[in-house]
A and B are shown apart, each in its own frame.
Chain A
Amino acid sequence: MMQVLAPETEAQACEAIASARADKRTLEIVGGGTRSGLGRPVRADSVLSTQSLRGITLYEPAELVVSAWAGTPLREIETLLAGKQQILPFEPMDHRAIYGTQGEPTIGALAACNISGPRRVRSGAARDSLIGLRFVNGRGEAVKSGGRVMKNVTGLDLVKLSCGAHGTLGLLTEVTFKLSPAPRGSGTLIIEGLNDARAIAAMSMALGSPFELSAAAHIPSQKRTLLRIEQAPDSLAYRMEALTGLAKPFGPARRLSDSEAHEAWAGVRDVAPLANSKAPALWRISIAPSRAAAFVADMAAQNIAQDHYYDWGGGLIWLTSGLDAAKVETLQTAAAQAKGHAMLVRASQDARAQLHVFQPQPQAMMNLSGRVKASMDPDAILNPGRMYACQ
């Protein structure tokens, strides 16, 4: 049975990491365990859990800011915010559907893995809302960066650096997010029957309109293109009508009922269209929208892509494929040539250990990233190999 360390305070977390370093023991960081398939598998000597680092430490509705210990269940925070009609702006994905995991997602994971969702096109990613951090580095030192105010350029931005580093630079202990008011109304238009290229053109048109779309997705298997506006009721009615007019060249648009829309966007957010796929690999590909359809067509022509859909107006492709090494390399090379990148989000543990889960980067970048990693975690004891085998 592997040893599980569950510090209850930041000071205990410092001790745990400092003593692991002294003993040359590696640590795998876990939160709620709902995203356990994300990244390369880590073979560590002990598990370091945030489960006992819990509690909301600051909530100022009038300042649109919340802070919590990293292991605080996301549900607890969202419930608190809902009481004041506020939200985390970036609509974080819930990975339980694709991994079949149980348990409760934590607020810390949103920061550690930079977890966002459909509203990213309008409100930014988790990294854009994350304004403050406390973390324990690989030396066992508690470090603070950023703070509780949304405009802060004091010192190097270790907040952004740590966000999305998958726990390879430090154990996040406390996170502070900027909030937004909950939308006072939401409406979703659906256009049916578009091919990928036309759908992306429709989404680009809509996202480039003055009507401030909060999401745009296209699901080829359902032949549905979805456009969402979030505004106060009067404004919503006006903008839905204006957008319907703009969309005419792409075909008739109709408004989904609120319950249909809610289900549709939860599905887009949590990758429902591909969650039950039997394909051995599920990819998350970031790319400029105007290159997305051609990329997918190319992958389909080479018998690599099986099924797919688009979020972020085409800027995010979720795609399933086979897993042989040649195909994986072709796909990641093509993604890089299209100036994007592909992350292997779901695959067997063996596959994730052997393949590039994160898009390989040029050597100069890898060297630089390696030096940055060493500056935070000199003995590479935190989540060794989570992102890249060499780190």
Chain B
Amino acid sequence: MNEILFPTPDGAIMDRRDAILSELAAIASPGCLIVSEDERRAFETDAFTAYRRMPLAVVLPRTTEEVSALLAYCHRTGLKVVPRGAGTSLAGGAIPQEDSIVIGVSKLNKILDVNLPDRTIRVQAGVTNLSVSEAVSPDGFFYAPDPSSQLACTIAGNIAMNSGGAHCLKYGVTTNNVLGAKIVLITGEIIELGGEAFDAPGLDLLGLVIGSEGQLGIVTEATLRIVRAAEGARPVLFGFDSSEAAGACVAAIIGAGIVPVAMEFMDRPAIQICEAYAKAGYPLDVEAMLIIEVEGSDAEMEAELARIVDIARAHNVSVVRESRSAMETASIWKGRKSAFGATGRVADYICMDGTVPTGQLSYVLKRTSEIVASYGLRVANVFHAGDGNMHPLILYNVNDPADQAKAEAAGMDILRLCVEVGGCLTGEHGVGIEKRDLMRCQFNEIDLEQQMRVRAAFDPQWLLNPAKVFPLDGRLGANEIAA
């Protein structure tokens, strides 16, 4: 059995639960401490639902100062903390441990300041990703990173995982769109990283914190860049008779100096699943489909699409459907955007997230099918082709432990393949617990030790989200920071 291990709960902490609850009650403001089993159950897992652990308690603080008091308490008493945004992690980044408390940021949900002349917005970190864009959309602006969970996921979670989305080919990921953050360290110290300006003085600790998976501190506020939306956006849909042709088309578009705002790939199983659900009018007789979106004025989009269509024709595209209306645009995107939900109707699935060099896309797709088939399972591929960030959805039955083990094993094989061809384990979902034990595929001991020493400079006792990212054995702590 290759089940992901959790550390053995600390009996001394478990035995102190009642005392811990009353101590937390003295710190947390009224209505912010959750202790009953029923209510805690909502926090025992995230979107990586195959694993769950019931935390000692959940606290949902209302202010940065409260977060500070809570973390100082945890630091003083050696209590582990699992930070939580909206709990949409696909990698188990927010799954608790039995001897930990969860600190969630969901009550820190205010937009603090919109500054259109400077093109920035300051928010509390528990606001949802989508609500940031909604706050500025009446003025024609948006917040660029758009993970598919954007309706629910929080900025705190986006910062923890350095989230991407369909549009990061042009606009970058979270780390390229955050100017500043207020972060509470495990000691309770409150630190401002970055700020309003384009760059920050001293070491780029903000860049280090983004993507650190809640291991360095809890972010309570952030200053984000907002971007003026283009005059218009329009997708074109291409069908190809082979994945290779679709992959070559993607490479040729980039090679021609065109960087579309999005280039999304779906393979035949994914097309079938999404079409059955969304009735988007996708072609059912092709092996691969691309959705490519361009932006600009009508004339600019016409010209850009014409160049892209020419390239696709040179790669034997079999279906070309250019959007001619807002309705058609919505319909083309509807299928893609509902891919995960639609797949969930067909079967349980785990979603992998490795990135590969785009030149390796065809090979990796072929190998992915072979790997999954060798375990007797099925796979659907929906992913961001422009940046090589693959999302094979491995279909299995969650009620069958043997099936789940096979799906996980197939997923691990695919991720090893991604690393072998020059890519990485995770492009936007994070390591969490899911990929923790594969870290040695991508990094050697020295690489990992350096990361752990940096981690220990923030949290020498490993109290913050400690079961994640780094393999459980061989960890370096306080005594090894400067060894």
Interface 9-residue window, one of A101-109, A158-166, A248-256 = A158-166
Interchain CB contact under 8 A, A341 and B200: yes
User: Which of A60, A61, A128, A365 has its CB near the most chain B CB atoms (within 10 A)?
Assistant: A365
Question: Is the C-beta of A155 less than 8 angstroms from some C-beta in chain B?
Answer: yes
Count of chain B residues near A, Cβ 8 A: 94
A270 vs chain B, min Cβ distance (A): 18
Interface positions of A from 131 to 185, Cβ below 8 Å from B = 137, 141-145, 147-161, 163-165, 169, 180-182, 184
Say which residue of A63, A234, A341 sits within 8 Å of B299 (CB atoms): A234
Interchain CB contact under 8 A, B117 and A201: yes
Say which residue of B118, B388, B447 sits within 8 Å of A144 (CB atoms): B447
Contacts of A387 in B (CB 8 A): 202-203
Question: Is the C-beta of A195 less than 8 angstroms from some C-beta in chain B?
Answer: no
Interchain CB contact under 8 A, B197 and A288: yes
Closest to A207 in B: B119
Type the 1/0 row for A222-233, where 1 means its CB is closer than 8 Å to any CB of B: 000000000010
Question: Is the C-beta of A22 less than 8 angstroms from some C-beta in chain B?
Answer: no
Interchain CB contact under 8 A, B204 and A153: no
Interchain CB contact under 8 A, A365 and B191: yes
B362 vs chain A, min Cβ distance (A): 13
Contacts of A208 in B (CB 8 A): 116-117, 119, 141, 228
Interchain CB contact under 8 A, A143 and B450: yes
B309 vs chain A, min Cβ distance (A): 16
A302 vs chain B, min Cβ distance (A): 21
Question: Is the C-beta of B296 less than 8 angstroms from some C-beta in chain A?
Answer: yes
Question: Is the C-beta of A276 less than 8 angstroms from some C-beta in chain B?
Answer: no
Closest to B215 in A: A156
Closest to B257 in A: A181
Known A85-B257, A128-B172; judge A151-B164 contact (CB<8 A). yes
A169–B195 Cα distance when bound, in Å, is 23
Interchain CB contact under 8 A, B482 and A151: no
A231 vs chain B, min Cβ distance (A): 8
Question: Is the C-beta of A120 less than 8 angstroms from some C-beta in chain B?
Answer: yes
Contacts of A65 in B (CB 8 A): 357
Say which residue of B118, B208, B389, B481 sits within 8 Å of A151 (CB atoms): B389
Closest to B451 in A: A156
Question: Is the C-beta of A2 less than 8 angstroms from some C-beta in chain B?
Answer: no
B260 vs chain A, min Cβ distance (A): 12
Contacts of B427 in A (CB 8 A): 149, 151-153
Question: Is the C-beta of B430 less than 8 angstroms from some C-beta in chain A?
Answer: yes
Type the 1/0 row for B382-414, where 1 means its CB is closer than 8 Å to any CB of A: 001001110000000000000000000000000
Question: Is the C-beta of B425 less than 8 angstroms from some C-beta in chain A?
Answer: yes
User: Which of B173, B425, B453, B458 has its CB near the most chain A CB atoms (within 10 A)?
Assistant: B453
A288–B223 Cα distance when bound, in Å, is 12
A303 vs chain B, min Cβ distance (A): 25
Interchain CB contact under 8 A, A290 and B118: yes
Question: Is the C-beta of B428 less than 8 angstroms from some C-beta in chain A?
Answer: yes
Size class of the contact patch on chain A: 35 or more
Question: Is the C-beta of B456 less than 8 angstroms from some C-beta in chain A?
Answer: yes
Question: Is the C-beta of A114 less than 8 angstroms from some C-beta in chain B?
Answer: yes
Contacts of A153 in B (CB 8 A): 161-162, 173, 211, 426-431
Type the 1/0 row for B329-370, where 1 means its CB is closer than 8 Å to any CB of A: 000000000000000000000000001111100000000000
Interchain CB contact under 8 A, B118 and A358: no
A289 vs chain B, min Cβ distance (A): 5
A93–B297 Cα distance when bound, in Å, is 33
Contacts of A315 in B (CB 8 A): 118, 197-198
Contacts of A198 in B (CB 8 A): none
Contacts of A369 in B (CB 8 A): 202-203, 205
Interchain CB contact under 8 A, B117 and A155: no
Question: Is the C-beta of B83 less than 8 angstroms from some C-beta in chain A?
Answer: no
Say which residue of A143, A180, A290, A375 sits within 8 Å of B447 (CB atoms): A143
Interchain CB contact under 8 A, B257 and A141: no
Question: Is the C-beta of B185 less than 8 angstroms from some C-beta in chain A?
Answer: yes
Type the 1/0 row for B181-204, where 1 means its CB is closer than 8 Å to any CB of A: 000010001111001111111111
Interchain CB contact under 8 A, B482 and A378: yes
Closest to A288 in B: B196
Closest to A213 in B: B228
Question: Is the C-beta of A371 less than 8 angstroms from some C-beta in chain B?
Answer: yes
Say which residue of B202, B428, B446, B482 sits within 8 Å of A375 (CB atoms): B482
A350–B81 Cα distance when bound, in Å, is 48
User: Which of B117, B208, B443 has its CB near the most chain A CB atoms (within 10 A)?
Assistant: B117
A181–B161 Cα distance when bound, in Å, is 28
Closest to B438 in A: A154
Interchain CB contact under 8 A, A376 and B199: no
Interchain CB contact under 8 A, B299 and A238: yes
User: Which of B190, B208, B384 has its CB near the most chain A CB atoms (within 10 A)?
Assistant: B208
Closest to B187 in A: A364
Interchain CB contact under 8 A, B207 and A160: yes
A312–B198 Cα distance when bound, in Å, is 9
Interchain CB contact under 8 A, B446 and A141: yes
Question: Is the C-beta of B461 less than 8 angstroms from some C-beta in chain A?
Answer: no
Contacts of B141 in A (CB 8 A): 208
A83 vs chain B, min Cβ distance (A): 13
Contacts of B388 in A (CB 8 A): 63, 149-151
Known A210-B231, A364-B191; judge A155-B255 contact (CB<8 A). no
Question: Is the C-beta of B120 less than 8 angstroms from some C-beta in chain A?
Answer: yes
Type the 1/0 row for A81-92, where 1 means its CB is closer than 8 Å to any CB of B: 000011000000
Contacts of A152 in B (CB 8 A): 355, 423-424, 426-427
A155–B432 Cα distance when bound, in Å, is 10
Closest to A159 in B: B207
A208–B121 Cα distance when bound, in Å, is 14
A312–B192 Cα distance when bound, in Å, is 23
Contacts of A182 in B (CB 8 A): 257
A208–B115 Cα distance when bound, in Å, is 11
Interchain CB contact under 8 A, B359 and A62: yes
Interchain CB contact under 8 A, A157 and B458: no
Type the 1/0 row for B216-234, where 1 means its CB is closer than 8 Å to any CB of A: 0000000000001111000
A326–B151 Cα distance when bound, in Å, is 51
Interface positions of A from 41 to 56, Cβ below 8 Å from B = none
Contacts of B423 in A (CB 8 A): 147, 149, 152
Interface positions of B from 416 to 454, Cβ below 8 Å from A = 422-431, 435, 439, 442-444, 446-448, 450-451, 453-454
Contacts of A361 in B (CB 8 A): 201-202
A340–B223 Cα distance when bound, in Å, is 13
Known A149-B357, A156-B212; judge A127-B204 contact (CB<8 A). yes
A–B pairs, 27, beta carbons within 8 Å: A62-B255, A63-B357, A125-B198, A125-B199, A128-B172, A149-B356, A151-B168, A151-B388, A154-B425, A154-B435, A155-B443, A156-B455, A157-B175, A165-B203, A169-B203, A180-B259, A181-B254, A204-B117, A210-B230, A235-B297, A286-B201, A339-B195, A343-B201, A359-B202, A365-B192, A371-B481, A372-B205
* New contact pairs (9) apart from A287-B196, A288-B118, CB-CB < 8 Å: A63-B358, A114-B199, A128-B175, A149-B387, A151-B388, A152-B427, A160-B175, A164-B199, A287-B197
Name B residues whose Cβ lies closer than 8 Å to a Cβ of A.
Answer: 115-120, 140-141, 161-162, 164, 168, 172-173, 175-176, 185, 189-192, 195-208, 210-212, 215, 228-231, 251-252, 254-255, 257-259, 296-297, 299-300, 303, 355-359, 384, 387-389, 422-431, 435, 439, 442-444, 446-448, 450-451, 453-458, 469, 481-483
